[in-house]
């Protein structure tokens, strides 16, 4: 229906405007005036219709939900995110915070357990280790007899025969028992 | 570019139309020779009126329109040629611009319920009369 109205209005506007010129061209002033009134009426009507149509578009645009409103609705419809770190939240005087005591207590317990493990492991490993170490050090132990004869023994020449190195150590100063 | 061409065409057509309109609506007075006259034949038709008043309405229209041009209706020249067809003579003769104006005035809807069609409108100068007489 609207296209028919718009077409009719446009044709009326063009025809009346054209006939105004034609009648003026023919010196038919009364006809030109009458058709000119029709032209003006059609012009006012078409202009009003155009303005109303544009206003209607604007009104629909304004009344339609905007994109910002859509985004806001999406945000509001989204599930609420739970606070993952409650202790970071502002302190609530009505609630008693137990995180720090639990943390300290847990630390104490873990330290005790670690001390106990260390003690058990130390006591279990010490016996074997010390025995192996004693066995290894046995070869490195000092001889029962002194490495150097005492001065009396040196003078007596005891043990020189058994230790040629001692002879070299003492040198000519040690004298020869011979 | 397309809009520019359309605009140029519109401007050209508008200018041509205005020039044509100006040429047609010129009211330059051209002096006519002494003794010239203009013969007019019109066919009148009335609507929603008694046909008996048609001559009177036509006469009134002629009297009105001759005021627009600088000419008078020759006395007793308004006669009916046939049913609804009348003729009259104007003196002095009308130039081209006055003829346009008179034709427009007679064809215009000046008198309610009266429709006049100009069938003949010609200015005759003495030289034209001599030529016709010789012919």
Helices B54-65 & B96-107, crossing angle to 10 degrees? 140
Q: For residue A26, list chain B residues with Cβ-Cβ distance below 8 A.
A: 103-104, 107
pLDDT for position A173: 60
Restricting to A residues 34-73, those with a Cβ less than 8 Å away from any Cβ of B are 34
Flag whether pLDDT at B135 surpasses 70: no
Chain A stretch 12-31, residues whose beta carbon is closer than 8 A to a beta carbon of chain B: 21, 24-31
In chain B, the largest separation of any two C-alpha atoms, in whole Å, equals 65
pLDDT tens-digit map of B67-77: 988 889 998 88
The residue of A27, A29, A32, A34 whose CB has the most chain B CBs within 10 angstroms, and thus the best one to mutate to test that interface, is A27
At residue A178 the predicted structure's pLDDT band, cuts being 50, 70 and 90, is: very low
pLDDT in tens, A10-31: 999 999 999 999 999 999 999 9
When comparing pLDDT for A139 and B133, which is higher? A139
Q: How confident is the model at residue B54 (pLDDT cuts 50, 70, 90)?
A: very high
pLDDT of B95 higher than 50: yes
Q: Do B109 and A21 touch (CB under 8 A)?
A: no
pLDDT at B126: 84
Can you give the pLDDT at residue A85? 74
Q: What percent of chain A has pLDDT over 90?
A: 38
Average pLDDT value over all residues in chain A:
82
Residues of B in contact with A33 (CB under 8 A): none
Contact B107 A26 (CB under 8 A): yes
Instruction: State residue B115's pLDDT score.
Output: 92
**Does the ipTM exceed 0.85?**
no
Which chain B residue is nearest to residue A32, measuring alpha carbons? B108
B positions 83-122 inside 8 Å of A (CB) = 100-101, 103-105, 107-110
Residue of A nearest to B106 (CA): A28
Shortest Cα–Cα distance, B119 to chain A (Å): 15
Residue A176 has pLDDT above 60, yes or no: no
């Amino acid at each position: 229906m609207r296209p028919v109205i718009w077409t009719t209005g446009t044709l009326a506007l063009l025809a009346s405007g054209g006939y105004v010129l034609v009648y003026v061209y023919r010196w038919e002033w009364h006809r030109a005036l009458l058709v000119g009134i029709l032209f003006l009426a059609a012009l006012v009507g078409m202009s009003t219709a155009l303005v109303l149509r544009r206003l209607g578009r604007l009104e629909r645009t304004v009344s339609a939900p905007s994109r910002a409103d859509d985004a806001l609705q999406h945000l509001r419809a989204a599930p609420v995110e739970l606070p993952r770190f409650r202790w970071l939240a502002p302190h609530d005087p009505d609630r008693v915070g137990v995180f720090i005591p639990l943390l300290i207590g847990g630390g104490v317990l873990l330290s005790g357990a670690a001390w106990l493990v260390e003690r058990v492991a130390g006591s279990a490993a010490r016996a074997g280790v010390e025995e192996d170490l004693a066995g290894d050090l046995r070869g490195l132990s000092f001889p029962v007899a002194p490495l150097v004869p005492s001065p009396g023994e040196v003078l007596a020449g005891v043990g020189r025969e058994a230790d040629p190195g001692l002879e070299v150590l003492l040198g000519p100063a040690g004298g020869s028992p011979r | 570019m397309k809009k520019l061409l359309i605009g140029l065409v519109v401007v050209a057509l508008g200018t041509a139309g205005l020039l044509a309109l100006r040429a047609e609506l010129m009211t330059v007075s051209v002096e006519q020779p002494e003794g010239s006259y203009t013969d007019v034949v019109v066919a009148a038709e009335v609507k929603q009126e008694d046909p008996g008043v048609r001559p009177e309405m036509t006469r009134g229209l002629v009297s009105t329109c001759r005021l627009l041009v600088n000419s008078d209706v020759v006395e007793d020249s308004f006669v009916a040629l046939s049913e609804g067809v009348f003729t009259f003579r104007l003196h002095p003769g009308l130039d081209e611009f006055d003829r346009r104006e008179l034709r427009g005035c007679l064809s215009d809807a000046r008198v309610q319920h009266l429709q006049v069609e100009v069938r003949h409108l010609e200015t005759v100068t003495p030289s034209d009369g001599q030529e016709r007489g010789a012919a």
